Protein backbone atom coordinates (compact mmCIF):
# COMPACT_ATOMS: atom_id res chain seq x y z
CA UNK A 1 0.00 0.00 0.00
CA UNK A 2 1.30 3.40 -0.93
CA UNK A 3 0.72 6.51 1.05
CA UNK A 4 -0.91 9.38 -0.79
CA UNK A 5 1.81 11.58 -2.26
CA UNK A 6 4.37 8.77 -2.46
CA UNK A 7 3.34 7.66 -5.93
CA UNK A 8 5.67 8.50 -8.79
CA UNK A 9 4.18 10.85 -11.35
CA UNK A 10 3.91 9.83 -14.98
CA UNK A 11 1.75 11.10 -17.82
CA UNK A 12 0.31 7.60 -18.42
CA UNK A 13 -0.55 6.94 -14.78
CA UNK A 14 -3.62 8.16 -12.95
CA UNK A 15 -3.27 7.59 -9.21
CA UNK A 16 -6.44 6.54 -7.42
CA UNK A 17 -6.57 6.96 -3.67
CA UNK A 18 -8.60 4.46 -1.70
CA UNK A 19 -8.57 1.44 0.54
CA UNK A 20 -7.96 -2.13 -0.58
CA UNK A 21 -10.57 -3.31 1.89
CA UNK A 22 -13.34 -0.94 0.78
CA UNK A 23 -15.51 -2.50 -1.93
CA UNK A 24 -16.45 0.89 -3.36
CA UNK A 25 -12.80 1.96 -3.77
CA UNK A 26 -11.80 -1.35 -5.32
CA UNK A 27 -14.81 -1.30 -7.67
CA UNK A 28 -13.90 2.24 -8.82
CA UNK A 29 -10.33 1.10 -9.52
CA UNK A 30 -11.42 -1.99 -11.49
CA UNK A 31 -14.17 -0.28 -13.49
CA UNK A 32 -13.46 -0.61 -17.23
CA UNK A 33 -10.41 -2.88 -16.83
CA UNK A 34 -9.78 -6.33 -18.27
CA UNK A 35 -7.22 -7.48 -15.67
CA UNK A 36 -5.82 -6.76 -12.23
CA UNK A 37 -2.28 -6.92 -10.93
CA UNK A 38 -1.98 -7.51 -7.17
CA UNK A 39 1.45 -6.40 -6.02
CA UNK A 40 0.74 -5.23 -2.49
CA UNK A 41 2.23 -6.53 0.71
CA UNK A 42 3.40 -5.57 4.16
CA UNK A 43 6.49 -3.46 4.75
CA UNK A 44 8.87 -3.61 7.68
CA UNK A 45 8.23 -4.01 10.57
CA UNK A 46 5.61 -6.36 9.03
CA UNK A 47 2.90 -5.61 11.56
CA UNK A 48 0.11 -5.06 9.00
CA UNK A 49 -1.73 -8.27 8.15
CA UNK A 50 -4.02 -7.38 5.25
CA UNK A 51 -3.15 -9.31 2.06
CA UNK A 52 -5.75 -12.09 2.30
CA UNK A 53 -8.55 -9.71 3.25
CA UNK A 54 -7.69 -7.22 0.52
CA UNK A 55 -7.37 -10.00 -2.06
CA UNK A 56 -10.79 -11.35 -1.09
CA UNK A 57 -12.33 -7.92 -1.72
CA UNK A 58 -10.50 -7.52 -5.05
CA UNK A 59 -11.45 -10.93 -6.47
CA UNK A 60 -15.06 -10.50 -5.35
CA UNK A 61 -15.26 -7.15 -7.15
CA UNK A 62 -13.52 -8.64 -10.21
CA UNK A 63 -16.20 -11.35 -10.36
CA UNK A 64 -18.94 -8.75 -9.92
CA UNK A 65 -17.53 -6.62 -12.78
CA UNK A 66 -16.58 -9.61 -14.99
CA UNK A 67 -12.87 -8.75 -14.94
CA UNK A 68 -11.40 -12.14 -15.94
CA UNK A 69 -7.62 -11.96 -15.42
CA UNK A 70 -5.60 -11.56 -12.22
CA UNK A 71 -1.86 -11.74 -11.62
CA UNK A 72 -0.80 -11.86 -7.99
CA UNK A 73 2.74 -11.44 -6.69
CA UNK A 74 3.54 -13.02 -3.35
CA UNK A 75 7.05 -14.30 -2.70
CA UNK A 76 9.33 -17.27 -3.19
CA UNK A 77 9.25 -18.14 0.54
CA UNK A 78 5.47 -18.35 0.69
CA UNK A 79 3.79 -21.76 0.72
CA UNK A 80 5.01 -25.32 0.31
CA UNK A 81 7.12 -25.32 -2.86
CA UNK A 82 10.19 -27.27 -1.73
CA UNK A 83 11.27 -28.37 -5.26
CA UNK A 84 11.55 -24.69 -6.27
CA UNK A 85 13.99 -23.79 -3.49
CA UNK A 86 17.57 -24.66 -2.72
CA UNK A 87 18.13 -26.18 0.73
CA UNK A 88 19.60 -22.90 2.00
CA UNK A 89 16.62 -20.89 0.73
CA UNK A 90 14.25 -23.42 2.28
CA UNK A 91 16.08 -23.10 5.61
CA UNK A 92 15.76 -19.32 5.47
CA UNK A 93 12.04 -19.73 4.73
CA UNK A 94 11.62 -21.93 7.82
CA UNK A 95 13.32 -19.27 9.95
CA UNK A 96 11.00 -16.62 8.53
CA UNK A 97 7.94 -18.79 9.21
CA UNK A 98 9.01 -18.99 12.86
CA UNK A 99 9.75 -15.28 13.24
CA UNK A 100 6.76 -13.94 11.26
CA UNK A 101 4.10 -16.67 11.22
CA UNK A 102 1.10 -14.33 10.89
CA UNK A 103 2.57 -12.50 7.88
CA UNK A 104 3.46 -15.69 6.03
CA UNK A 105 0.11 -17.36 6.86
CA UNK A 106 -1.67 -14.28 5.49
CA UNK A 107 0.22 -14.66 2.19
CA UNK A 108 -0.56 -18.40 2.02
CA UNK A 109 -4.24 -17.53 2.50
CA UNK A 110 -3.91 -14.86 -0.22
CA UNK A 111 -2.59 -17.45 -2.67
CA UNK A 112 -5.47 -19.82 -1.86
CA UNK A 113 -8.02 -17.04 -2.44
CA UNK A 114 -6.51 -16.36 -5.87
CA UNK A 115 -6.37 -20.06 -6.83
CA UNK A 116 -9.99 -20.64 -5.80
CA UNK A 117 -11.31 -17.40 -7.32
CA UNK A 118 -12.57 -18.91 -10.59
CA UNK A 119 -10.60 -16.21 -12.43
CA UNK A 120 -7.82 -16.72 -14.99
CA UNK A 121 -5.07 -16.36 -12.39
CA UNK A 122 -1.29 -16.52 -12.25
CA UNK A 123 0.69 -16.50 -9.00
CA UNK A 124 4.15 -14.94 -9.42
CA UNK A 125 6.78 -15.79 -6.80
CA UNK A 126 9.98 -13.77 -7.09
CA UNK A 127 12.82 -14.05 -4.60
CA UNK A 128 14.51 -10.83 -3.44
CA UNK A 129 13.43 -7.81 -5.50
CA UNK A 130 16.05 -5.25 -6.45
CA UNK A 131 16.08 -1.77 -7.90
CA UNK A 132 18.99 -2.82 -10.10
CA UNK A 133 19.22 -2.48 -13.83
CA UNK A 134 17.09 -4.64 -16.04
CA UNK A 135 18.70 -7.99 -16.75
CA UNK A 136 18.74 -9.21 -20.33
CA UNK A 137 17.12 -12.49 -19.34
CA UNK A 138 14.99 -13.78 -16.52
CA UNK A 139 13.81 -17.31 -15.92
CA UNK A 140 10.09 -17.80 -15.34
CA UNK A 141 8.11 -20.98 -14.87
CA UNK A 142 6.63 -23.57 -12.54
CA UNK A 143 9.96 -25.45 -12.32
CA UNK A 144 12.33 -22.49 -11.79
CA UNK A 145 14.49 -22.87 -8.65
CA UNK A 146 15.57 -19.99 -6.45
CA UNK A 147 18.41 -19.75 -3.95
CA UNK A 148 19.75 -17.33 -1.38
CA UNK A 149 21.51 -15.25 -4.04
CA UNK A 150 18.55 -15.21 -6.42
CA UNK A 151 17.03 -11.85 -7.22
CA UNK A 152 15.08 -10.10 -9.91
CA UNK A 153 14.96 -6.37 -10.72
CA UNK A 154 11.54 -4.80 -10.27
CA UNK A 155 11.73 -3.54 -13.88
CA UNK A 156 11.98 -7.13 -15.15
CA UNK A 157 9.09 -8.16 -12.96
CA UNK A 158 6.98 -5.29 -14.29
CA UNK A 159 7.79 -6.34 -17.86
CA UNK A 160 6.83 -9.92 -17.03
CA UNK A 161 3.43 -8.76 -15.77
CA UNK A 162 2.79 -6.74 -18.94
CA UNK A 163 3.86 -9.65 -21.17
CA UNK A 164 1.67 -12.08 -19.25
CA UNK A 165 -1.33 -9.76 -19.61
CA UNK A 166 -0.78 -9.37 -23.35
CA UNK A 167 0.23 -12.96 -24.17
CA UNK A 168 -0.75 -15.31 -21.35
CA UNK A 169 1.57 -18.31 -20.95
CA UNK A 170 0.93 -19.22 -17.33
CA UNK A 171 -2.82 -19.09 -16.74
CA UNK A 172 -3.85 -21.00 -13.63
CA UNK A 173 -0.22 -21.67 -12.74
CA UNK A 174 2.19 -20.70 -9.99
CA UNK A 175 5.51 -19.52 -11.38
CA UNK A 176 8.83 -18.66 -9.81
CA UNK A 177 11.01 -15.98 -11.37
CA UNK A 178 14.66 -15.08 -11.06
CA UNK A 179 17.26 -13.12 -12.97
CA UNK A 180 19.94 -14.95 -14.91
CA UNK A 181 23.38 -14.39 -13.47
CA UNK A 182 25.95 -14.57 -16.28
CA UNK A 183 28.93 -15.21 -13.99
CA UNK A 184 27.31 -18.19 -12.29
CA UNK A 185 26.24 -19.66 -15.61
CA UNK A 186 29.82 -19.34 -16.83
CA UNK A 187 31.22 -21.02 -13.72
CA UNK A 188 28.85 -23.94 -14.06
CA UNK A 189 29.58 -24.32 -17.76
CA UNK A 190 33.32 -24.83 -17.16
CATH code linked to domain 23-189: 3.40.50.720
| pLDDT over threshold 80, residue 153 | yes
What are 24-75's pLDDT values in tens digits?
999 999 999 999 999 999 888 888 899 999 999 999 999 999 999 999 999 9
Eight-class DSSP state of 156: H
Secondary structure E strands in 28-104: 35-38, 69-73
Which pTM does this prediction carry? 0.87
Listed residue (167, 136, 166, 169) closest to 153, CA to CA: 136
Which residues pair with residue 118 across a beta bridge? none
CA 15 – CA 73 distance, rounded (Å): 20
Q: Report the percentage of the chain scoring pLDDT > 70.
A: 86
CA 152 – CA 150 distance, rounded (Å): 7
Around Cβ 19, how many Cβ atoms within 10 Å? 13
> How would you list the strands of the sheet with 120-125, edge to edge?
35-38, 69-73, 120-125, 173-179, 138-141
What are 80-138's pLDDT values in tens digits?
999 999 999 999 989 988 999 999 999 999 999 999 999 999 999 999 999 877 776 88
CA 113 – CA 70 distance, rounded (Å): 11
Amino acid sequence: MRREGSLPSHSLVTPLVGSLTQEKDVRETLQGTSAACLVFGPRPPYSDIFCAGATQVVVAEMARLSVPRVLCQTGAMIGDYRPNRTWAFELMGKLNRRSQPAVLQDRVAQEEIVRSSGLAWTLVKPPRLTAGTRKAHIRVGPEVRVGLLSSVPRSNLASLFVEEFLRPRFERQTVFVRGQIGGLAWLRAR
